[in-house]
Amino acid sequence: MKGVESSEDGFSQEAGQTTGQSLTQKAESGEKAEVCPQVASARLQSSTFLNCKELANFAIPMVADGSKGSKVRMQIRANSAQILDNVAAPLKEEMTVVDVDLGDRSYPIYIGKGLLNQPELLQKHVHGKKVLIVTNVTIAPLYLSRVIAALKDGGNNVEVESVLLPDGEQHKSMEVLMKVYDKAIETRMDRRCTFIALGGGVIGDMCGYAAASYLRGVNFIQIPTTLMAQVDSSVGGKTGVNHPLGKNMIGAFYQPECVLVDTETLDTLPDRELASGVAEVIKYGLIRDAEFFEWQEGNMERVLARDTSALVYAIKRSCENKADVVAADEKEAGLRATLNLGHTFGHAIETGTGYGNWLHGEAVGAGTIMAADMSLRLGWIDEDLFKRIFSITKRAKLPLEPPPSMDVQSFKSIMAVDKKVADGALRLILLKGPLGNCVFTADYDVKALEDTLRHFCKS
């Protein structure tokens, strides 16, 4: 699909600089641990439910990692005696919670392995007696019955309907969205019903928009099943569908009641899709969280191997960063635009190659290398940082350059209609200063942009 491009993650009106520190300094100190001073001193910023064995495994990496986030709180809901009794308990008790702080629209993000087996998590966010699960034909055979079972567990009196959409970005359309409204009306979903998005970013964006508009807004829960959705699209309330003339052109800001991330769902995700999500994880480190980037440098292979504690940590920290940004700038007046590092170049690649050929995260990976190259040419970052960005992207098995079919002219013509163009000047998110700092600006030497495009394109 070609035409006017809306930035995937939206666009913004103002230039400005952001640092990793500015918002996280606002983190609040929380409750103290009843057990294990090691963990307490780690300033673990999540609600964590652990048995003793897990505690031993969990405490040490968390101490080493340090941690930061939108809210700092910690609960270990067991006394020492209970912990000893629980040594052989299954891992499902471990859970991390990140809060998205939006006043009376605040919500929790639950993160952990096997959370779909904890029915109370879902049930407490379903207010009415009717639920509509929106999913697709690929995900339904894998996870739909588990979600229905969780909703009905313990004889819970709730009527559950589901609608299965075709799979793929090309189906993120008004036409396919109508199937959700059709099902909702046919099954008499009322004002107190809950819509549940079960799937990746496509399903999350579509179900969210359906929930925002059906009966002028109904309760909504996100169960993201791709890494991309777990670290990015399910958090922050951007919902919508594509128009034939442009991506994500129709939509609404609409926040969910909760986001439930069961990392076990990533077991069935193809490697290429996993790597695509890692591109957004790398982004958070580069734009505002140097420590997280350093952690990735030490743990990238564990993430790609789907090691549970590495995945939980990467998702938690990504969500904390996104939650911080969204809490400060929900409707994208400025700061939120920095989440688009690498996306302007990336969107040009997605559009130029035709949607679906390159995954979004793959285009963002190559786009981030291009943004870093331009930042280096401007003298805004040093060569060492560029090399580190190149190396982590390579280790994540993401593309390091645009496809040969992209030439300078196609980049220019696609980027010229980017929504971040203001008064004829293209605003870009570029890296500036030490690791973890970026700017959103039109104030750069255009020669650097020209040189970057020439460097990466054959013609």
Ligand X SMILES: NC(=O)c1ccc[n+]([C@@H]2O[C@H](COP(=O)([O-])OP(=O)(O)OC[C@H]3O[C@@H](n4cnc5c(N)ncnc54)[C@H](O)[C@@H]3O)[C@@H](O)[C@H]2O)c1
Residues that bind ligand X (CB under 6 A): 8-9, 136, 138-139, 142, 167, 169, 172, 199-203, 205, 225-226, 228-229, 232-233, 236, 238, 248, 265, 268-269, 273, 276, 360
Residue 280 a catalytic site member: yes
Under 8 Å between Cβ of 447 and 296: no
Q: Single out the catalytic residue among 172, 283, 347, 427.
A: 347
Q: Between residues 276 and 375, which has the closer beta carbon with respect to ligand X?
A: 276
269 binds, among ligand X, Zn ion, none (CB under 5 to 8 A by kind): ligand X
Tokens of 195: 């819509």
Residue 192 a catalytic site member: no
Q: Count the alpha carbons within 13 Å of 231 in the hemisphere toward its beta carbon.
A: 27
Instruction: Report, in Å, the least distance between residue 364 CB and Zn ion.
Output: 5
Residue 216 a catalytic site member: yes
Helices assigned H by DSSP within 124-270: 145-152, 174-186, 201-213, 227-228
205 binds, among ligand X, Zn ion, none (CB under 5 to 8 A by kind): ligand X
- Determine the Cα–Cα distance for residues 195 and 160; give it in Å rounded to an integer: 10
- Determine the Cα–Cα distance for residues 161 and 412; give it in Å rounded to an integer: 47
- Coil, helix or strand for 417? coil
Distance in Å from the first CA to the final CA of the chain? 23
Under 8 Å between Cβ of 452 and 368: no
Residue 125 a catalytic site member: no
**x/- letters, 202..231, toward Zn ion (CB under 5 A):** ------------------------------
Q: Between residues 205 and 257, which has the closer beta carbon with respect to ligand X?
A: 205
Q: Single out the catalytic residue among 5, 8, 264, 280.
A: 280
- Strand pairing partners for 215? none
Q: Between residues 130 and 317, which has the closer beta carbon with respect to Zn ion?
A: 317
Q: Between residues 8 and 324, which has the closer beta carbon with respect to Zn ion?
A: 8
Q: Between residues 9 and 54, which has the closer beta carbon with respect to ligand X?
A: 9
Helices assigned H by DSSP within 130-256: 145-152, 174-186, 201-213, 227-228
| CB-neighbour burial class of residue 458 (10 A; exposed 0-12, middle 13-18, buried 19+) | exposed
- Determine the Cα–Cα distance for residues 81 and 223; give it in Å rounded to an integer: 34
415 binds, among Zn ion, ligand X, none (CB under 5 to 8 A by kind): none
Q: 10 Å Cβ neighbour count for 24?
A: 20
Residue 306 a catalytic site member: no
Using the contact rule CB under 5 A, the part of the chain among 4-12, 291-299, 307-315, 377-385 near Zn ion is 4-12
* Residue (of 99, 83, 85) closest to 49 by Cα position: 83
Residue 31 a catalytic site member: no
Q: Single out the catalytic residue among 264, 273, 332, 362.
A: 332
Q: Between residues 8 and 94, which has the closer beta carbon with respect to ligand X?
A: 8
- Coil, helix or strand for 418? strand
Residue 336 a catalytic site member: yes
Under 8 Å between Cβ of 201 and 235: no
The amino acid that residue 343 corresponds to is H
Q: Single out the catalytic residue among 68, 283, 288, 322.
A: 322
Residue 183 a catalytic site member: no
199 binds, among ligand X, Zn ion, none (CB under 5 to 8 A by kind): ligand X
Residue 157 a catalytic site member: no
Q: Single out the catalytic residue among 71, 73, 288, 360.
A: 360
Q: Between residues 45 and 136, which has the closer beta carbon with respect to ligand X?
A: 136
Instruction: Report, in Å, the least distance between residue 225 CB and ligand X.
Output: 4
Tokens of 440: 């959103």
125 binds, among Zn ion, ligand X, none (CB under 5 to 8 A by kind): none
- Determine the Cα–Cα distance for residues 357 and 351; give it in Å rounded to an integer: 10
Helices assigned H by DSSP within 329-378: 343-353, 360-377
201 binds, among ligand X, Zn ion, none (CB under 5 to 8 A by kind): ligand X
Residue 73 a catalytic site member: no
Q: Single out the catalytic residue among 125, 283, 343, 388.
A: 343
* Residue (of 338, 340, 370, 364) closest to 350 by Cα position: 364
Determine the residue with CB nearest ligand X. Answer: 201
φ, ψ for residue 290, nearest 5 deg: -60, -40
Instruction: Report, in Å, the least distance between residue 254 CB and ligand X.
Output: 10
Q: Which of residues 6-65 bind Zn ion (CB under 5 A)?
A: 8
Q: Between residues 355 and 390, which has the closer beta carbon with respect to ligand X?
A: 355
Query: What does DSSP assign to residue 219?
Result: E
Q: Single out the catalytic residue among 171, 238, 247, 427.
A: 238
Q: How far is CA 457 from CA 176, 405, 439, in A?
A: 37, 8, 25
The residues of the shown chain that bind Zn ion, judged by CB under 5 A, are 8
Q: Would you please indicate which residues are annotated as catalytic (active-site) residues?
A: 216, 238, 280, 322, 332, 336, 340, 343, 347, 360
